[in-house]
Chains A and B, each alone.
Chain A
Amino acid sequence: MTETNSRDLFPGALEMMILESLRREPAHGYALVQHIQQRSNNLLQVEEGSLYPALQRLLKAKLVKAEWKLSSTNRRVRTYQITAAGLRRLEQQISSFERMFEGISLVLNPGKVTTS
């Protein structure tokens, strides 16, 4: 599988996960990959490289900002930080994702009613 990225889930999923990770703390690309993989218990196989087109899209939309810094291990890294616009977008996306998730659950399990 070379195309295991957010697009296999739904459009914008990878971006949402990146924004969520960055809300917790600023991070560079490699750390983001590690973070997403760990948090998903390795259920989501994010191809490392596919992160970068997503990061460029977020940068262009000014949802994140980036600057070159030294990491805790004294490595030169480009660190991404979520912006106010990024936070707002994340809230929107989470809420619409939850609505979608609820809808899907209703369709798949008509007996159970899940409310968030």
Chain B
Amino acid sequence: MDWIPQIFRRRKLYEDLSEEIRLHIEERTEQLMCEGMSAEEAARAARRAFGNRMLLEERSREVWQWPTLESIWADVRFALRQLRKSPGFTITAVLTLTLAIGANAVVFGVLNALILRPLNVPQAESLFVVQHGSDVGSHSYPDYLDLRQRNRSFDDVAAWAISQAGLDTGKDPSNVWEYETSGNYFDVLRIQPYLGRFFHASDEHGPNSAPFVVLSYAYWHNHFQDDRTMVGRVVRLNRHPFTILGVAPPGFQGTVLFFASDIFVPIVNHEQLSGDKTILNARGIRWMFEMVGRLKPGVTPAQATADLNSVDSYLKKSYPKEESNDPYTLARPGLHGDYLNGPTRAFLTGLMLLSGLILLAACANLGSLFAARAADRSREVALRLALGSSRNRILRQLFTESVLLSLAGGVAGLIASILLLRRLSVWQPFPRFPLHVPVSPDANVYLVALVLALVSGVLFGIIPVRQILRANPYEIVKAGSTGAFGRRITVRDVLLVVQIAICAVLVTSSMVAVRGLMRSMHSNFGFEPQNAMLVDTDLTAAGYSGERVPAMQRRMIDAIQAIPGVDSVGSVNYPPLEPPGTWQGIVYTDTTTDLSPSKAAADPNMFNISPDYFRASGTSLLAGRAFSWHDDTNAPRVAVVNREFASKVLGSVPDAVGRYFKLQDGTRVRVVGLVEDGKYVNLTEGQKPAMFFPLLQSPASWIWLVVRSSRDPQQLAAAMRSVLRDIDPGMVLAIRPWSTELAGTLFPSRMATVSLGVLGIMGAMLSITGIFGMAAYSVSKRLKELGIRVALGAQRKEVLQAALGRAFKLLAIGSAAGLVLGILAGRVLASIVYQATPRDPVVLIGVVLAMAALGLLATWIPAQRALSVNPLILLRED
């Protein structure tokens, strides 16, 4: 371990050595002077006798060094100095690599989390999802029981379904998402509870026999503040008492990666939770989400599939009416079998390829930049070669620079990707659904980023290698260049054009998307989400049924109406634009007598609303009247329709009020009002017919209250919660501003816009570095020619044309191709982003301007250099 103190003593050792050598030469000089030489002669002779002092001192010092390590360190320091000298180049290169490596790390992070990383349970490799042909993941409970008993390939098979319930712990009941699981669920997964215990198959003794709850760690942590005394407590789920048995371990959120459940309850208690008494015995109703089995040791998936299908053929024989013809297959768990696994895998692989291409393009660009720099430095390289430096040494120096750059880009890219992945992990795009993507980066992601950085460093460092290896120092010093700059079309030119075209497509698409999004934010939905709050509640879950439902709804509306500052309150069974969709029902014209579905006049969206809904939602009443509380079961059936309904079903918009139409059961309904058209399912839909029925004539247990008020949303929410609690403290409520709720609807367009924007920026960055590299290379190669042109009296314009003509030509070709492709892509985009149109003049002008700006930005420095060519200096240098 001698080397440790040596590191610290190194400076002292070197100082001693220098001093010693100085004294040695001094002593020799003195002696020579004593022998009769002059001071000057003596000093010279002493130095000569000693030899090359610097070299000998260096060799003496080398004894104490680790030669490779220290010369690498010297290379690193030299490379850092070189990079500091050209900050523009360094920043461009690091930024490009940050984006390219960052993008790759993010995509790989997602790929790693969703596809490569197995489910976070012990021996995940023996777990398989049982799929039933195209009815992916849907099974009936009796089928599950039969498969579980009759198969011979699995140690055990568990099943589960997703549902929602109202959880009441005695204060402020809330909606929770639950996994209703078979009793053996946790045992099949082989996980251990964090706290308390799990329920088991032995706890099940028929319907409603296992009133137990297991909390997810996150729910326990967030809602019960890690209170260990929760275990053993009795809570109410949809008004039924359930005992909390335990808490699941921290990393476990269920068997589907992106769906984080709040609680786990035994599926045998489904009747209590849903009110449905028959479904557990119905063989034909496939409502369970997934079956997960653990293969016996030594059994292959193929054997297990054959086994499952032999059970299936028995079931088909026994229950021919209820069994589907699809065969059973197996898939990896985590992404709901092949249903999501396939598309996700394909999408992410595509994305990975795309980001890999981006990285390759970045490397090609940086390679051009490096080649340009090497050409610029050809004299320095030639001098070093002439002075005896080895080519290896010069190449090592260049590689040190490129690897340093790529490591800097890699680290920056990794940091950016970690931040992004962390954000993604906690991001919940839909407030109502517990969907999130658990993509926290792990060691694999770090390793991939490091490898990518090193590989890309070597890749773009390799490009100027041939140039250096073939360099002839004598020729370079004489001619000032490493040969003529080729005029033929190179692979790099083609790559650059493709890259610019891709950039133009991305810029066009992102502009189309951004413009579309901006328009859709300000378009008419047929209702006014600003200053409106939504209260989401399920009266069945709260124990109401029959006549009590509308009565309760009216009490709620009246109570909220009484809150100071509330303008109007209405209710609707399901608000428009709320995912996953709305109710629809077919209607007939009044004159239709054949009420078969093929004779229907339309299939309008259908809403059940309270009298004041239109005012509360901000929907304009164009003619006639809204409903009143007198429109009840004793009054004739009435409806309010929109304009599209009026023109399509009633045949006239101005005379719509007072006309009749028929429902599927033949009931005649009189139109009493006409409202504006709106958006009902998604923002990109065309005009659709819609009809509104009074609440009292067609009651619904699931209601949303719409409350219009200019009061502060938080205060209002608190006031509403308090008055509704007074009516029924056990009711589950979710109160949110309507605009927040709409975020889910706008989610696809927002996502498309954001990702296109990011890709557009990356494309733009790559194009800039690509054009810059090419232009800089071209200028530095042709400096002498440009100098001669200037000397012969060429104008600035001609010099620029000679220097940058090629770069601009490539830019123009690429941009034009990209613009055309971008317009075509814009059509595809219009189906995702509402009101996105590529024929928007702002977009077209914007793209042209953006590409021109990119070109100017990229060629600015090389152009300046070309213009500042001084023939005198150039010629004198030669």
Which residues of A are interface residues toward B (Cβ below 8 A)? 2, 28-30, 47-50, 52-53, 55-57, 59-60, 66, 68, 75-78
**1/0 per residue B9-31: CB within 8 Å of A?**
00000001101110110011000
In the docked arrangement, what's the CA distance between A52 and B64, Å? 13
> Contact between A53 and B59 (Cβ–Cβ < 8 Å)?
yes
> Contact between B50 and A48 (Cβ–Cβ < 8 Å)?
yes
Closest to A78 in B: B20
A-B contact count (CB 8 A): 59
Closest to B25 in A: A48
Beyond A2-B51, A30-B28, A60-B64, whether A52 also contacts B57 by CB under 8 A is: yes
Q: 29 A-B Cβ contacts within 8 A?
A: A2-B51, A2-B52, A28-B20, A29-B20, A29-B21, A29-B24, A30-B23, A30-B24, A30-B27, A47-B50, A47-B51, A48-B24, A49-B52, A49-B56, A50-B56, A52-B17, A52-B56, A52-B60, A53-B60, A55-B60, A56-B64, A59-B63, A60-B63, A60-B64, A66-B16, A68-B16, A75-B27, A78-B19, A78-B20
Name the B residues within 8 Å of A76 (CB-CB): 23
Name the A residues within 8 Å of B49 (CB-CB): 47-48
Name the B residues within 8 Å of A66 (CB-CB): 16
Let me know if B53 is at the binding interface, CB within 8 A: yes
Name the B residues within 8 Å of A30 (CB-CB): 23-24, 27-28
Name the A residues within 8 Å of B50 (CB-CB): 47-49
In the docked arrangement, what's the CA distance between A99 and B63, Å? 29
Interface centre among B19, B50, B61, B64 (most CB of A within 10 A): B50
Name the A residues within 8 Å of B21 (CB-CB): 29, 49, 52
Q: Which of B16, B56, B59 contacts A78 (CB 8 A)?
A: B16
Which residues of B are interface residues toward A (Cβ below 8 A)? 16-17, 19-21, 23-24, 27-28, 49-53, 56-57, 59-64
Q: Which of B17, B23, B28 contacts A48 (CB 8 A)?
A: B28
- Give, as a whole number of angstroms, the nearest-CB distance from A29 to chain B: 5
> Contact between B60 and A56 (Cβ–Cβ < 8 Å)?
yes
> Contact between B53 and A49 (Cβ–Cβ < 8 Å)?
yes
The 9 A-B residue pairs with the shortest CB-CB distance, nearest first, are A49-B56, A49-B51, A56-B63, A53-B59, A52-B60, A49-B50, A53-B60, A56-B60, A78-B20
- Give, as a whole number of angstroms, the nearest-CB distance from B25 to chain A: 8
In the docked arrangement, what's the CA distance between A48 and B31, Å? 14
Closest to B61 in A: A56
> Contact between B63 and A57 (Cβ–Cβ < 8 Å)?
yes
In the docked arrangement, what's the CA distance between A105 and B692, Å? 120
- Give, as a whole number of angstroms, the nearest-CB distance from B42 to chain A: 14
In the docked arrangement, what's the CA distance between A47 and B46, Å? 11
Closest to A76 in B: B23
- Give, as a whole number of angstroms, the nearest-CB distance from A89 to chain B: 16
- Given A56-B17, A60-B64, A78-B20, 17 other A-B residues pairs in contact with their CB atoms under 8 A: A2-B51, A30-B24, A30-B27, A47-B49, A47-B50, A47-B51, A48-B28, A49-B51, A49-B53, A52-B17, A52-B56, A52-B57, A52-B60, A56-B64, A57-B63, A59-B63, A77-B20
- Give, as a whole number of angstroms, the nearest-CB distance from B388 to chain A: 15
In the docked arrangement, what's the CA distance between A86 and B793, Å? 77
In the docked arrangement, what's the CA distance between A48 and B17, Å? 14
In the docked arrangement, what's the CA distance between A101 and B737, Å? 101
> Contact between B28 and A52 (Cβ–Cβ < 8 Å)?
no
In the docked arrangement, what's the CA distance between A75 and B25, Å? 13
> Contact between A75 and B63 (Cβ–Cβ < 8 Å)?
no
- Give, as a whole number of angstroms, the nearest-CB distance from B496 to chain A: 53
Closest to A55 in B: B60
In the docked arrangement, what's the CA distance between A56 and B21, Å? 12
In the docked arrangement, what's the CA distance between A46 and B218, Å? 80
Closest to A32 in B: B24
In the docked arrangement, what's the CA distance between A59 and B63, Å? 10
Name the B residues within 8 Å of A28 (CB-CB): 20
